[in-house]
Amino acid sequence: MTTHTREEKRRMTTTTDSRVDVLRARFGHALAGRVEPHIERLSWDAERLVEYQRERLRALLVCAVERSPFHARRLAGIDPERFELDQLDELPVMTKEEMMAGLDEVLTDRRLTRARVERHLEASAREPSLLDDDYVCLVSGGSSGLRGIFVQTVDEYAEFAASILRRAMSRVIAAGGPPPGGLPVGIVAARAPIHSSGFAAAVAAGYPVRMTSAPATLRMADLVRRLNAAQPPMLLCHASTLALLAGEQRAGRLRIAPQAITAMSELLTAEDRVAIELAFGVPLIDQFVSTEGLVGQSEPGGRVLSFATDMCIVELVDADDRPVPDGVASAKALVTNLHNHTQPLIRYELSDRFIRHPVDPEHPYLRATVEGRADDTFHYGGVAVDPLVIRTVMVRTPAALEYQVRQTERGIDVAVVAGGELDEVALASSLRRSLQRAGVPEPSVRLRQVADITRHPETGKVRRFIPR
């Protein structure tokens, strides 16, 4: 075993801190330069939006055909520089399974491989870092639970972050602008910076946005203490955890007074919305964010989300990939990400279900509500466990391709579809530690390798977390 002197440890720590500081400065600069253009886009009319979509789609297709062997085969025969938006449904659908199986050929930088990205992710579980000094590497289990890897440049990630923040920043600027040190935002999300919310929390540390992270994997008492100390004027939080925090606020253990609260990443029930708004006394903002790049957000107190279709073209379709009309729930969404040229996602399948609402004549962006993206919280006596406590461990396990978690009396039963050798002992140990940190005493973890996970006969989706 390698040992280091105190001086060597100090130098390594200093070097790591320095790298993170450089990354934060670089990200902050990239984000600051995008805030104003993104706010301007909020006032675009339909003609300007379509013009931009066409321009960005053609640029994406040129890049994909020239630099991605995966897409060059699938897009053979098209003329990217003359491609029209209404031709998009002629292109093949791209699934996460296909993307992961062919990731080396999907990526447009030939230096990038899945093996290199996996090694980088393993080394970046605690501190944010870039692969080849340029690439942000993230993992996601998403609503489907199937592990996905997503790679983009710092500038591409800053473009994505700007689409998330632009509505809030527009309101802040209208009220006089953010303070010199950046807009203070509390975020309750992933602990590890290999998740998008965890990465953002780690690198957004100055102007225009200064985030304070309180990981959702903390036990509730620790989460409450951290938020009470931070007193964030704006709060972003997973919907399921936000509902629990509302209970802490009503009980008087949590004592914060945010001016704005955003529920993100999970389905928000009507009951939870009412409870949260009553507890904190502010109208709730509902937000959809996927690591694949799709972003949607409601107005404060609103229930219909406006999606950033200048960033991602979205097709709401049935199980056979046919468009669904307004008011009808889609079986899935096909997303074409216009800003990530490192890992082109073209008609990429998201299993989330949406209901389209009529377009606002003054704002041409897609308006929709999201159906069925909620994971259930597990309760063990007085201890509530956010699904992220489990998901964070599972997405850091490359051999775990898919999984389903059932709550047991004292812990969890996990069915795993493995790809390659799965270290069941190590995975069970990691899950036990994560549950213990969340406050479950002496948790029991049972792992079972299975050939597949049973899916819903109508939707094809899996209920990922099943409470007792």
Q: What is the pLDDT of residues 151-169, one digit of tens each?
A: 999 999 999 999 999 999 9
Q: What is the CATH number of the domain that holds 402?
A: 3.30.300.30
Residues 322 and 383 in one domain: no
Residue 374 has pLDDT above 70, yes or no: no
Q: Are residues 20 and 121 in the same domain?
A: yes
The residue from 374, 397, 419 where one domain ends is 374
pLDDT of 6 = 52
Domain housing 51: 1-374
If asked whether residues 356 and 401 sit together in one domain, one would say no
State whether 264 and 324 are in the same domain.
yes
pTM of this prediction? 0.81
**Residue 145: pLDDT band by 50, 70, 90 thresholds?**
low
Q: Are 99 and 83 in contact (CB under 8 A)?
A: no
Predicted pLDDT at 16: 59
308 and 406, same domain (yes or no): no
**How many angstroms separate the CA atoms of 119 and 52, rounded?**
37
- Which of 374, 403, 435 is the last residue in one of the domains? 374
Residues 315 and 454 in one domain: no
Shared-domain flag, residues 160 and 230: yes
**What's the domain count of the chain?**
2
DSSP E strand boundaries for 304-460: 305-307, 312-317, 332-337, 348-350, 353-357, 367-371, 378-380, 383-385, 400-407, 411-418, 444-449
Do 412 and 364 lie in a common domain? no
Q: What percent of the chain shows pLDDT beyond 90?
A: 69
- Give yes or no: residues 251 and 295 share one domain: yes
* CATH code where residue 290 lies: 3.40.50.12780
Which of these three, 356, 374, 392, is where a domain ends?
374
Q: What is the pLDDT of residues 15-62, one digit of tens each?
A: 557 899 999 999 999 999 999 999 999 999 999 999 999 999 999 999
At 281 the pLDDT is 97
Strand, coil or helix: what is 460?
A: coil
In a shared domain, residues 263 and 316 = yes
Is 389 found in the same domain as 267? no
| pLDDT for 244 beyond 60 | yes
Q: Which of 80-89, 227-236, 290-299, 454-463 has the lowest mean pLDDT?
A: 454-463
* Contacts of 388 by beta carbon, 8 Å cutoff, 6+ apart: 189, 190, 216, 217, 238, 241
Whether residues 404 and 255 fall in one domain:
no
